[in-house]
Amino acid sequence: MALGQYHKADSVLHRMDPRFKMLIAVVYMLVIFIARDAVSLTLVLAFLAGAIALSGIPLRMLITSLRPVIVFVVFTFIVNLVFIRSGDVLMTVGPLTLTTGGLSTASFMTIRLLALFVSTALLGFTTSPVDLADGMEGLLSPFERFGVPAHELSMMMSIALRFIPILVIEKERIVRAQTARGADFESGNLIARGRALIPVLTPLFMSAFRHAEDLATAMESRCYHGKEGRTRVKILTPGTADWTAAAALGLLTAALIALRYVA
Amino acid sequence: MPILLEHVTYRYSEPDDTDPALLDVSLQVPDGEFLGVIGHTGSGKSTLVQLMGGLIQPVTGRVMVDGRDLADRSSRKMLRHRIGMVFQYPEHQLFADTVADDVGFGPRALGIEQHDIERRVTEALARVDLDICTCGHRSPFELSGGQMRRVAIAGVLAAEPSILILDEPMAGLDPVGRTETAALLGRLHRQGLTIVMISHDMDDIAILAERILVLRDGSVFAHGTPAEVFSRSTELREIGLGVPHATRFAARLTECGVLPDDTIFTPETLADSVALALGHPAQGKVI
């Protein structure tokens, strides 16, 4: 969801090796769920705060990017708050009983979810689509011996990301044209609205196929024939920042495991 | 129906520090006129026609169609089917299984009765020189490029508009398709439609338009008859626009002293003038 909203800047996070960034993001998202107490959660958030500070992404932009998921987060909070009954009773409103256990579980869940979304957004903001595809290819290449088409998958992903803005513009054009012909996209029930999308989706698919064919012709006429014998402009080499970030994440993971299982 | 623009300014992004796409444009298109709009990329042509179609609203100023302000939602709704918009590459908006179905989309959306829809579809296809019996049941996607475009134009005509606004209707067509489309537009205009057409092709504009609007950086650079506008050929070339081939050729002949100094912009008048200069009576036919 946060992918494809790259924000160009020059920061430590932007310069990191995309393979490390992606791997660290994935591991971090798993680690978030080990944290069960206040101290571990603070550590988790501290790691994220450090990443944000090093990302050069304005805080406001990160917060705006959370807008689409805010309903989901609030819903999760309320469900947890209402349905979990443990600890002391805080207050009773009609049939609802709010407990301390419910409140703490709800708060923990909300903070975890927000950390999850912010870390994804951070990856999307600091990694260009080309870097994402390169990183994905790099991470998948060890699995090539088991038949995973790493190069093809990453090429597909970069093409897909590249075409999102083009298709968005195309969609707007078609909507405008059909609106001018009298199409109505805003009234009627769900079924009527769904049917109203046919005059938009059909031309949009046609145009996607047209673009795909043009692109295939263009790639072939530039002698693209898959991975075999291809060299790279940018060769990925992990630097100090990458190893430091990996080590920091290792420490964080060790600390969280210790807090949860040893203490 | 007449179109009237009063001091219209339009901006694409909100903050006022950006350059407006259109700045203080005032313009009148009388009922039944064929207006050609020319201008460089980014001069505001597409913005202008979208304002005329009521698809966007001006930041300041008014757009009036048939005496009604398009800023008003109810008059927009009332006028929507009276203003037909043909966008660039209109064949890209085709979607239905058959040509007849696609052409009928507009009238169906307007809630018109079934038998009337059939009549409109037949008539609209006939207006673009297509026969409902031979191609009405075919898929629009198996037609030729020129035919697809005419089907798309028929889809707009089926709403029976009084104003037809076209953005580069000839772009990407082969010479046959261009001639057919030009002839079609001439015919529609003679049937009484008010037409506003954007084009990059000065020859098409010269032949079809009664008046020409030249836009430059969002402002009106020139507005007048083809003779008035194309007589300023030096200025037009300075802002990166051309003049019709006939005008250029006539200018060369004037330099050589063959023709008198007069603005010529269609091949026919050029032929007539040359014939006259050579001592023959005029024979050129009017398209």
* ipTM metric: 0.77
Contact B159 A181 (CB under 8 A): yes
DSSP strands (E only) in chain B: 3-10, 22-29, 34-39, 60-65, 68-69, 83-86, 163-167, 194-198, 211-216, 219-224
Q: Assign B287 a pLDDT band (cuts: 50, 70, 90).
A: very low
Residue B17: predicted pLDDT: 60
pLDDT of res. A1: 39
Q: For residue B174, is it within any domain?
A: yes
Nearest to A183 among B85, B109, B141 (CB): B109
Q: What single letter denotes the amino acid at residue B204?
A: D
Spell B134-167 as b/e; 16+ CB within 10 A means b: ebbeeebeebeebbbbbbbbbbbbbbbbbbbbbb
Taking an 8 Å cut-off on Cβ atoms, the answer to whether A202 and B95 are in contact is: yes
Contact A206 B141 (CB under 8 A): yes
The minimum CA-CA distance between B281 and chain A, rounded to whole Å, is 49
Which residue matches tokens 């050579």?
B278
Is B87 within 8 Å of A180 when comparing Cβ atoms?
yes
Among B196, B226, B256, the domain boundary falls at: B226
- What is the structure's pLDDT at B285? 52
Q: Are residues B68 and B144 in the same domain?
A: yes
pLDDT for B99-118, tens place per residue? 999 999 988 888 888 888 99
Give the list of residues 6+ apart from residue A65 with CB closer than 8 angstroms, or none.
Answer: A2, A5, A121, A124, A125
Single-letter amino acid, residue A181: R
Instruction: Name B163's bridge partners.
Output: B83, B194
pLDDT in tens, B138-185: 898 888 888 899 999 999 999 889 999 999 998 888 888 888 888 899
Chain B residues with beta carbon closer than 8 angstroms to that of A206? 92, 95, 141
Shared domain check, B138 and B259: no
Helix (H, G, I), strand (E, B), or coil: what is residue B262? coil
Residues B186 and B266 in one domain: no
pLDDT of residue A157: 86
Chain B touched by A206 (CB under 8 Å): yes
Closest CA to A18 of A234, A206, A181, A255: A234
Cα–Cα–Cα angle for B210, B212, B214, nearest 5°?
Answer: 180
**CA A62, CA A83: separation in Å to the nearest integer?**
31
Q: SS3 breakdown of chain B: % helix, strand, coil, rounded to 5? A: 45, 20, 40
Q: How does pLDDT run across B48-65, given as a tens digit for each residue?
A: 998 998 888 888 888 989
Q: CA angle A5-A7-A11, nearest 5°?
A: 140
Other Cβ atoms less than 10 A from the Cβ of A57: the count is: 22
User: Closest chain B residue to A208 measured between Cα atoms?
Assistant: B92
Residues of B in contact with A173 (CB under 8 A): 87, 92
- Quick one: B179 and B68 in the same domain? yes
User: How many separate domains does chain B show?
Assistant: 2
Answer whether B90's CB lies under 8 Å from B149's CB. yes
Residues B106 and B214 in one domain: yes
Rounded CA-CA distance A43/B76 in Å is: 58
Mean pLDDT of B84-112: 88
Taking the Cβ of residue A199 and every Cβ of chain B, the question of whether any pair is shorter than 8 Å is answered with yes
List chain A residues with CB under 8 Å of B87.
173, 176-177, 180
Tell which A residues from 27 to 56 touch B, by Cβ distance under 8 Å.
none
- Name every chain A residue with its beta carbon within 8 A of the beta carbon of B83: 180
Looking at the structure, tell me whether residues B177 and B280 fall in a common domain.
Answer: no
d(CA B72, CA B65): 11
CB within 8 Å: A199 and B105: yes
Task: Give the best residue of A171, A181, A186 to mutate against chain B (max B CB count within 10 A).
Answer: A181
Domain boundaries, chain A: 12-127+236-262, 149-221
- Which residues of B are less than 8 Å from A199 in CB distance? 93, 95-96, 105
Q: Is the CB of A203 less than 8 angstroms away from the CB of B92?
A: yes
Residues of chain B in Cβ contact (below 8 Å) with chain A = 50, 53, 55, 80-81, 83-85, 87, 90, 92-96, 105-107, 109-110, 141, 155-156, 159
Candidates B50, B92, B109; nearest CB to A181: B109
Contact A203 B93 (CB under 8 A): yes
**Within a domain: B234:** no
Residue B229 distance to chain A (closest CA, Å): 31
Which residues of chain B have a CB within 8 Å of the CB of A193?
none
Give domain status of residue B192, yes or no: yes
Q: Which residues pair with B25 in a beta bridge?
A: B8
CATH number, domain at B70? 3.40.50.300
Same domain, B45 and B82: yes
Residues in chain B: 287
Contacts of residue B235, Cβ cutoff 8 Å, sequence gap at least 6 = B222
Beta-carbon pairs below 8 A across chains A and B: 58
Q: Is residue B219 part of a domain?
A: yes
Chain B interface includes A186 (CB < 8 A): no
Question: Above 70 in pLDDT, residue B230?
Answer: yes
The whole-model pTM stands at 0.72
| CA–CA separation, B171 and B178 (whole Å) | 8
Contact predicate A116/A104, CB 8 Å: no
Q: What confidence tier does B15 reach under pLDDT thresholds 50, 70, 90? A: low
Q: Which of B287, B86, B90, B277 lies closest to B206 in space, CA to CA?
A: B287
Beta partners for B85? B165
**C-beta atoms of A206 and B85 within 8 A:** no
Q: Is A180–B105 a contact, with Cβ atoms under 8 angstroms apart?
A: no
Work out the percent of chain B whose per-residue pLDDT is above 90.
21
Which range marks the domain in which residue B271 is found? 244-287
- For residue B239, is it within any domain? no
Q: Are residues B173 and B260 in the same domain?
A: no
Tell me which residue in A180, A200, A206 faces B85 most closely, judged by beta carbons.
A180
Q: Which residue ranges of chain A lie beneath pLDDT 70?
A: 1-4, 263
Q: Closest Cα to residue A151, out of A239, A45, A225?
A: A225
Q: Indicate whether B286 pLDDT > 60.
A: no
Whether residue B284 is predicted with pLDDT greater than 70 in this model: the reply is no
Chosen for mutation from B95, B149, B167, B196 (greatest number of chain A CBs closer than 10 Å) is: B95
SS3 of chain A: the string is CCCCCCCCCCCHHHHCCHHHHHHHHHHHHHHHCCCCCHHHHHHHHHHHHHHHHHHCCCHHHHHHHCHHHHHHHHHHHHHHHHHCCCCCEEEEECCEEEEHHHHHHHHHHHHHHHHHHHHHHHHHHHCCHHHHHHHHHHHHHHHHHHCCCHHHHHHHHHHHHHHHHHHHHHHHHHHHHHHHCCCCCCCCCHHHHHHHCHHHHHHHHHHHHHHHHHHHHHHHHCCCCCCCCCCCCCCCCCCHHHHHHHHHHHHHHHHHHHHHHHC
User: At residue B35, does pLDDT exceed 50?
Assistant: yes
Angle at A38 between CA A251 and CA A246, to 5 degrees: 20
Q: In what order do the strands lie in the sheet with B219-224?
A: B83-86, B163-167, B194-198, B34-39, B211-216, B219-224
In a domain, B156, yes or no: yes
Q: Are residues B276 and B153 in the same domain?
A: no
Element (H, E) at B227: helix B226-230
Last residue of a domain, one of B226, B255, B276: B226
| Same domain? B141 vs B257 | no
End-to-end, the C-alpha distance of chain B in Å comes to 25
B131 and B261 within one domain: no
Residues B26 and B86 in one domain: yes
pLDDT of A242:
92
B80 to chain A: which residues are within 8 Å by CB? 180, 182
**Would you say residue B233 lies in a domain?**
no
